[in-house]
Structure formats: C-alpha cells, structure tokens
Structure 1
Amino acid sequence: MSYLRFEKAVMTNLQESLHRELLRTNRSGAYSSSTIADCNTRKYHGLLVVPVPELDDENHVLLSSFDCTVIQHGAEFNLGLHKYQGNNYSPNGHKYIREFTCDVVPTMIYRVGGVILKRETIFQCYEDRILIRYTLVDAHSATTLRFRPFLAFRSVRQFTHENSVASRAYQEVENGISTCMYAGYPDLYMQFDKKNEFIFKPDWYRGVEYPKEQERGYASNEDLYVPGYFELPIKKGESIVFSASTSAIKTSKLKSLFEKEIAIRQPRDNFYHCLVASAHQFRNRQPNDDRYLLAGYPWFKARARDTFIALPGLTLAIGERDYFELVMKTSEKGLREYMEGKPLTVKLYEIEHPDVPLWCVWTIQQYAKDAGREQGYKMYGKLVHDIVKYVMEDGHENMHLDDNGLLFANGRDKAITWMNSTANGRPVVPRSGYIVEFNALWYNALRFCASLEAEFGDAKFAEQLEELAERCKKSFVDTFLNEYGYLLDYVDGNMMDWSVRPNMIFPVAFDYSPLDQNQKKNVLDICTRELLTPKGLRSLSPKSGGYNPMYVGPQAQRDYAYHQGTAWPWLEGFYMEACLKIYKRSRLSFIERQMVSYEDEMNYHAVGTISELFDGNPPFNGRGAMAFAMNVAEILRTLKLLEKYTYQK
C-alpha cells in the first residue's frame, strides 16, 4: 500500500484534488509544480519553471502544461484539464483518472474504456529538464497518442496574453522541436525517445484562469500559446519518454536517464522520508559552486535569517553534516562581507537584518552539539568570536549595545525581525527597541562564545563575556518579565508591548537562558494555553488586541493577518525543545501526538511537505507558500530531539 496514494474518488472530485499541490525541484532553483489532478491553479504552477539569469532574478514558466490525448478508432479522449473563466473546466480529463501515487515518482493511472495508460513524471536533479514516461498498460486495438504543449515564456509573477510579438518559429531537432517565444529566453527543446510527427498548428488558448490567484486578490487569467501537436503510435506494453528542457538531448539516452533518475530517488514511503525529501528540495547550487537553502517555494529566495534557522534541521537532523558545511561556507562569506562593509558577492538576501549574525551563532551552536565542541570551535570558533566582537563594538548600523547589556534596534519604520509584514510601506507589527528574541539570542551567543573561548581560546576574553552576560541576564529579566509571568514582546522607551506572542519561547528553548527554571515554566505554560495549535504556535494570542487568525483575502488583508494570529510550525520546534528541556521524558507522548498533526499534512495542501503558515483557528488550513524551509527543518529537528530523549538512559 502506497503512503502517498489518492484514489479515483479524490482525484475526480475537484474540490478535493485542486487543493492538493505537487512540487518537484532541482538544485538550480528550477521546479515543476501543479495540482495532483494536473490542473494549474496558480500563476506559479508549470511543468517546467526555470531561472533565466540573463533576464532577471525570477523563475520563468516555459512549459505550462502538456496535454495528452488518447486516440482509438478515430475517437479522441483528451486527458488534460484547464480552468477557464466562468468556472468552466475543459477538457475534463480528470474523469479518466483511476489513481495517483507519488511515493517514488508522481504516477497517474488513466483508464479510457479498455485503455489503461500510466504517466510517470521526474524532474531531473541537476538539469533543468522534465521527463515524462507514458506506458500503455492495456489496450485492445491500435492506439495513438497526441500531445499539445501549452507555452507561457513569462515570469512567475506575470501573465502572458495573446500578442503579435511572440515568435511562432520552431526548428526540428532529433525526435522533436525547439522553439523560443521571446528574445532573451532560452530555447525550449521538446523531444521524445522515438520518432513522431509534429503538426504545426499555432493557436492561443484564451482565458485560462488560476483560482488561487483569485483567492489572493490578484489578476488571475492568461492566454497560453500552443504551437501545434505531436502524434505517435504506441503499442500495448510499450513505454515512451518525453523530455522538455532548455538543452537538447540525445534521445536514445532518455529511457536510461529516466531509470537512472528513479534509482536515485528516496521513496516518500513514510512521514520521515517525506520530510527528508522535502529538505533536499530547498537545496540550491549556483554555477560558481556556492550553496544555499531557498526559504521556500514557489516564490522565496535564499534569505539569511531563514538559512541560519533552517540549516540545522535540514542537514544535521538528517545526518548530512557535509551539506551544513557547504552552506555555511557560502553564508560565512556573505556575512563577513556584510560585517566588513564590502560589496556582497553572494545571493543571500536580507542579510542586513540585525538578528542575522545572532542566528548564525545559534546555528553554529547546533553544529557543535552534533560534531563536538572541539570540531565546532575548529570550524567556526573564529566566526563566533568575530560576530560577538562585531555586536559588542556596535558594528551594525541598526543595533546598539547599551550599558545594561541589552541590544537596542530601531524597527519603527522598517520591519527588522522575522515578523516582517508591511502595509502602506510601514511594518504591521513595528517591533522596535529592546526586542525579546534579539536579546535572548544575544545572551545565548555571549555564553556560548564564552564557553568556547574558556575551553579552546582566549580565557581573558571569556571572562569579559561572562561579565557582560551577567549584566544582560539581569537587565533581560528586569526589562521583559512582567507580573503576569510572561515576557513583553519589545520595549521601546515608554512603549511596552504586552501582546502575548511566541517570541518569548526562544529564551526558554535556548541552551543558555537568562530565565530561571520557574520563569521558564511560567512562560511555557502561557504559550501552551494561548498560542499552541495543532499546526504550530500562533503569532498572537486570541486574548490580545488585533487577533486576526485567518490568512485569506486580498494582499492588504493578508498582510494584516500574517503575524496577528496565524500559526507557524517552525516556532513549535522551539516550543517542543523547551518542553523537553523542562519536563524531559514526561512530555514525549505529548510531542509525539503533536507530530501526528504534521503527518496529516503529507496528504494535504502541498503533498509530502509543509506549507508556509496555517490559520490560527480551526480547521487550521495551510496557507501561503506551498513549501517552507524553516517549518520542515524544525519538524525534523524535533523528531531528532524526540529520538534523543526516547533512547537516553
């Protein structure tokens, strides 16, 4: 029995199948994505979506979809599915779907009368190439397949419409054609592993509609160009392989290439393996061999804070320390360039945010726990030392170390924390001044650096750091701990934010905390009562003013809800770590139950991965990006912590 299997009843019910998305990526940042019914519902969906660095820093949809038609005795059965304006679906190919599985590769079984056709799809790991294998499992008479490619040649953030500029020219290549709609784009090569006939019949399919964009308050329709169609006969038991890519391929290699790609796929046959496969999807390798972690799909870039938060879970938690070191090599280069005021030579976005260096120290701390403190110091001790010195000497233009040992940052006019939504050019949550997680990170960094220096480095510097940490500890408690037992979110002069927010969980979870055991328990208990959901910690308590838990509607409406009550799984990773540190093994069964709610997500929203955020109220629907690195990372890190506490003596 397949772990990720959807039967006919689900596949033919569009209310069920169109809300489940599928994502496959490669290391260049290219991807292939649609719904499990193979009907695009976002402008970001496409069969072949690739970066075009010659044009911009975005991905571009080249091949939107590839419709297959089964022909027998002159009768045509189109297996495609598109939504058009007026809630019209055509050609309703979903009614022929018998089942869909994606344990190894996405596999669709169609049945048209006596014809059973299997379609398997693979996105090549290290090339911008989509491979589709069609196998005629059963047929009682001569069968022909016809394929129509729907082309877009546009940025994922735009739409294409019928126009006279688009080139209709094409060139014949081995067992296929190549074409390019606009100057500046790469050629799209569409080839089969056997001879076929291409019939040039150019046309525009007008009014294709994307309901996900409608929901989000955006323009939602476009026209797609179809240059013609391919036809080829297929016999019972025969398989044919189709390739779409930005480069030509020797078609005799397609069958073996497909088998080779299958062989290196790790099956998504349980919850853990789904998360590991998802973790690999965020990896990005640039031509100069720089390594990154993309913050999410389909629209996120490699963001500095997200990288440092996600890195331990996406690498160390699954036993892949070597990739941690590769990403850190690129990230350290970028961070040092920023701290030294040099031009950035890496594509690490939002590196200017004040807490980024502090999250880097936390990341290194996780490495030291995994590889050993001596190895951690050998690899990154100098970087930790330099970051702490940088902060102590007010190296950052928007972060100042006060005499009381706390860090002060200005976030009134520009969002500087992970709660970064803006409206009308200003932060929705203007967190400024003494920010609770900034200072929890700072205290943790001071103590961690001091411990490394005392053991392996400069003992005098270690003493200096310990003295500063003591000041920071006292000021942290005096500044943030209120009479109700929880922590203020930020304090800016006379402005104190009493909102109950999840940022107070960090000093409870970190290895070095300015809070005593009783204070930690009080904070954890309040987080449990007011913020915990089956899908993560809410970004704001329902008892606090401005609670807005439903991430729906137009952009402005969603911006105001983004951090005002929505639930975030990655925050629960730190909550779980805090639970285990305080209550030890007595909370294991509770945490295991919480993990079950994430396993349920493997069959919903984006199949096999975790959405960006969830509504803060039942039924806790997944929203935003279809896959989010920090969420996958912290669930994996939690599973690793569970294993550690389960088997420790």
Structure 2
Amino acid sequence: MAFLKFNKSELVNLSYSLKREIICANKTGAYCNTSIVGCNTRRYHGLLAVPVDAFGSGKHILLSGLDESIVVNHRQFNLGIHCYGDIYEPRGHKYIVDFTAAPVPTLTYKIGETTFRKSVILAPDSDQVMLKYELVSAPSSCELVIKPFLAFRSIHRLTCENPKARTGYREIENGVSFNMYEGFPDLILQFSKKVEFRYTPSWYKGITYTDEYRRGFDCKEDLFVPGSFSLKLRKGESVIVSGSTAVEDTKALSRKFSSVVKKKGNITSDSDLLKYNADLLICNRNNHKQIVAGLTWLGTGLLRETVVALPGLTLYAGAGAKEFEEILDNLIADNQERLLCRTTQVEAPLRIADALQQYIRFGADPKKVWKKYGETVKGIIESYLPGRRAEVALHPNGLLWAQKWRTALSWM
C-alpha cells in the first residue's frame, strides 16, 4: 500500500489539491515541481528546471509543462489544467481518480471505460525528466496528443511573447529539439515510440500563477507552444517521453525509466522518503559537490545553509567523512571573501567551527582535523577582531555587534 495517496474527491477539489505539490530533484541541480494535479501555481513550477552554466549556473525553466489529451472514439479529452485570471481551462483534473507518490509520482485518469496513467521521474545524474504514459484499459485503441509549453527563463522571472524568441525546431530521432534564446541549452523532446509532430506555433497568453497573485507579485506570463505530438496506444501499451538537454537513445528510454524507478528503492514511509531526498540535496555538477539550500528558489553552495546542513546530510545520513570534507573544501575555496572579509550572513563563518566539532564527535581524529582546517578556523576568528569587518564590531566584553543599514545580518 502506498503511504502517500490522494483520492478523487481530494484531487478534484482545487482549493485542496493546488496546495499539494510534487517535487523531484537530482544530483545535477535540476528539478521538477508542480501541483499534484499538474497545474502550475508558482513561477518556480515547471517540469524541467536546470542550472545554466552560461548564466552563472542559475536555475532556468526550459519545459513548463505538457498538456495531454486522449482521443477516444473520435472524442478528445484534454487532461491538462491552466489558470487564466480566475478561470481554469482546460479542467482535466476532473478525470483524475488517484494520485500516489511512491515509487514515483503517478496520476491515474478515468474517462468512461478508459483508464490512463501518467508517471514522472528525473534521471539521477543528468538534466532529464521522463514521463511514462500507459493506457491501462480501453475498449479500443486511443490517440495520445501532447502539447509542450516552453518557458526558457529564469525561475525568478516571468516571460512574455517577444520578437527575440526563436520559435523554430530541429528534428531528431523520435522527437524534436528547441532552443528559444542564446545561451540556453537545447530542450530535446523524444519518445520511446515513433511519433508525429505537427508544427502549429502559438503563444498561450496570460497564464496565471495563483500563489504569486496572493503574494502580490507579478503573476501572469505567456508560454510558447510550438505544436503537438501524437501517437496511437493500444490497451496495455505505454510510451516514455523524455525532456532533456542531450539527445537520448530512444530505444533505451523504457529500460532507463524502469532502472531509475528500481534504483529509487522501496519507499514505504516518511522516513524512507526523507533519507532519499536528503541525498538529493547534495549536488554534483561539473564534478563540484555542493549542498542545495532549497530545491526551487534558493541557490546552491550558500555559506550558512551549507555549514548548518553539512553534518546531517553527510555524516549522519550515511554519505561519510570523505563527502563531508569534499563539500567543506569546496565551500571554503568558493567563499574566501565571505569567510575572511565580509558577508551579510554575519555568524555563518563561525559555524564552520561547529561543523568541525560535530565531525570530531562523529569520530574524526581531532589532530588531523586541526592540521587540515586549523589555519582556516584561526583566520575566521581573527577576521572578527576590531577593524577587520565593516559590518561587525567586537565589544570589550567579547560579544559581537553586527549592524548594516537595511540589511539582515543574522540568522533571525
């Protein structure tokens, strides 16, 4: 039995289901995040968001979503859902009868005698999202139609129709490739079966993110839909759709999807899920390991967040001492100015001493730890002496006073 499920009455109630989210992440820093019914409610939502090296490794949404339709007996049923102002259209959530989170997020749709299932997962070590569509039962074969909604923007920004957008495409094996702006990686959509792509470019305008509206932020954007993919499915058949920044071997997509699900293991409790997701907070991009401060809007390798989370995510989660030191070494190398000169996280450099103390309590040799990190710790402590940091003053009683106009300097 799945430990985390939602039933039809919960799923069709948007005031309930839009507040529950799917979030998948991987070791490259990519993520997939949306509501459990597939309606994006925040600017950070998208099926594939990846760090883009050309833009300082900031995360950018390439693929906002996929709208699926099932054609049954010449009648088309749209399973997607978007918000336009105060109107939801289409309202595909009404066909959802079940959601389960394990082993991977899976939605089940029912249209008359036809049962259709969709599952989503991220590849663990590449910028790739995979979706599995399965026609569980049907009185006859059906046609699956999929429309991709492209964003190609920073997760912190919204986009609109503009003349600079490159709206063309390039054909590849069982799919097509898009690249809307200079500096972005390609978004490559491929299928495990032969598929027909119909190019009908259009901007869908005024898509509204309700959570941003409630927060008083900009909440509307235009998304580019280049056309639609279509293929036939018979009862019991399935197809894998890959959204990636690299060309995939389409013959291996089904095997790869099954392998990723198997590697995820048997998650049957909140504890299992916590351990699995804790490991995903350790990002290894370009052979440079860092801790992800948050899976959507927060960055990677942040000073305070890393030193606070480092012992738990490595030593106590089973990754071990080697990974602890590797991440700490990268943090020290990347943050010399913050550690020794100035930072808005005024107490964060001192927290390295606490992380090292926890490392010693875990079993590390104190002499070896001091030999490797002693000079760094001394340099940090000395940087708080009078006159060293503009934002910090050392009082005669030994207490630190931090103050900077219009800047939050402490944890609180």
* SS of structure 2 residue aligned to 1:212: helix
Amino acid at match of 1:417: S
Question: Which residue number corresponds to residue 359 of structure 1?
Answer: 351
What per-residue deviation string (whole Å, max 9, x for no partner) do you get for residues 524-544 of structure 1? xxxxxxxxxxxxxxxxxxxxx
| Match in the other structure for 1:290 | 288
Q: 2:380 aligns with which of 384, 387, 391?
A: 387
> What corresponds to 1:126 in structure 2?
125
- In the alignment, is the contact (CA less than 8 A) between 1:110 and 1:118 conserved in 2? yes
* Residue of structure 2 in register with 1:310 after alignment: 309
Q: 1:227 to 1:360 in 2, by over 3 A?
A: same
SS at match of 1:260: helix
Aligned to 1:281: 280
Name the aligned partner's letter for residue 331 of structure 1. L
Q: Which residue of structure 1 lines up, in the alignment, with residue 411 of structure 2?
A: 418
Alignment partner, residue 36 of structure 1: 36
Secondary structure in 2 matching 1:327: helix
Shift of the alpha carbon at 1:16? Answer: 0.7
**Cα distance change, pair 130–413 in 1 and its aligned pair in 2 (3 A):** closer
Q: Given the alignment of the two structures, is residue 168 of structure 1 paired with residue 167 of structure 2, yes or no?
A: yes
From the superposition, tell whether residues 185 and 361 of structure 1 become closer, same or farther in structure 2 (CA, over 3 Å).
same
Tell me the secondary structure at the aligned position of residue 297 of structure 1: coil
Q: Which gives a bigger RCO, structure 1 or 2 (Cα 8 Å, sep 6+)?
A: 2
* Cα displacement string for residues 194-244 of structure 1 (whole angstroms, at most 9, x for unaligned residues): 111111111222221110110110121112111111111111111210001
| Residues 191 and 250 in structure 2, CA contact (< 8 A), matched pair in contact too | yes
Partner of 2:150: 151
Whether 1:406 aligns to 2:399 is yes
Alpha carbons of 1:412 and 1:338: their partners in 2 closer, same or farther (altered >3 Å)? closer
Compare the two structures and name the one with the higher strand fraction.
2
The two structures, once aligned, show a CA RMSD in angstroms of 2.1
What does the per-residue CA deviation read over 1:510-569, in whole Å, with 9 as the maximum and x for residues that have no partner? xxxxxxxxxxxxxxxxxxxxxxxxxxxxxxxxxxxxxxxxxxxxxxxxxxxxxxxxxxxx
Could you say what secondary structure the match of 1:203 adopts? strand
Bigger CA drift: 132-141 or 384-393? 384-393
Cα pair 1:4 1:268 within 8 Å, conserved: no
Query: Offset at 1:64?
Result: 0.8
Partner of 2:83: 83
Letter in 1 for 2:380: I
Structure-to-structure mapping, 1:538-557, within 5 angstroms: none
Who wins on radius of gyration, i.e. which is larger? Answer: 1
- How far 1:280 moved relative to its partner? 2.3
Residue 271 (structure 1) aligns with: 270
Kindly state the Cα deviation for residue 398 of structure 1 after the two structures are TM-superposed: 3.4
Mapped partners of 1:209, 1:402: distance in 2:
51
Which residue does the alignment assign to 1:642? none
| 1:469-618 paired onto structure 2 within 5 Å | none
C-alpha separation in 1, matches of 2:365 and 2:42: 46
Does the aligned pair in 2 maintain the 1:131–1:258 contact within 8 Å? Answer: yes
CA offset at residue 162 of structure 1? 2.4
Aligned to 1:225: 224
User: Quick check: 158-167 or 29-38, which moved more?
Assistant: 158-167
- What is the percentage of aligned positions where both structures have the same residue? 37
Q: Cα gap change, 1:177/1:95 in structure 2, threshold over 3 Å: closer, same or farther?
A: same
Structure with more helix by fraction: 1
Tell me the number of residue pairs that the alignment of Structure 1 and Structure 2 aligns: 409
> How far, CA to CA, are the matches of 1:5 and 1:159 in structure 2?
32
Q: Distance in 1 between matches of 2:390 and 2:143?
A: 67
Distance 1:405 1:165 in 2: 58
1:353 CA displacement: 3.3
Instruction: Give how far 1:7 is off.
Output: 1.1
What code does the residue aligned with 1:12 have?
Answer: V
Where in structure 1 are there 5+ consecutive unaligned residues? 342-349, 420-649
- The alignment partner of 1:279 has SS state of helix
Aligned counterpart, 1:101:
100
Distance apart, 1:182 and its partner CA? 2.3
Q: State the alpha-carbon separation in 2 of the partners of residues 414 and 226 from structure 1.
A: 42
Please name the residue that 1:201 is paired with.
Answer: 200
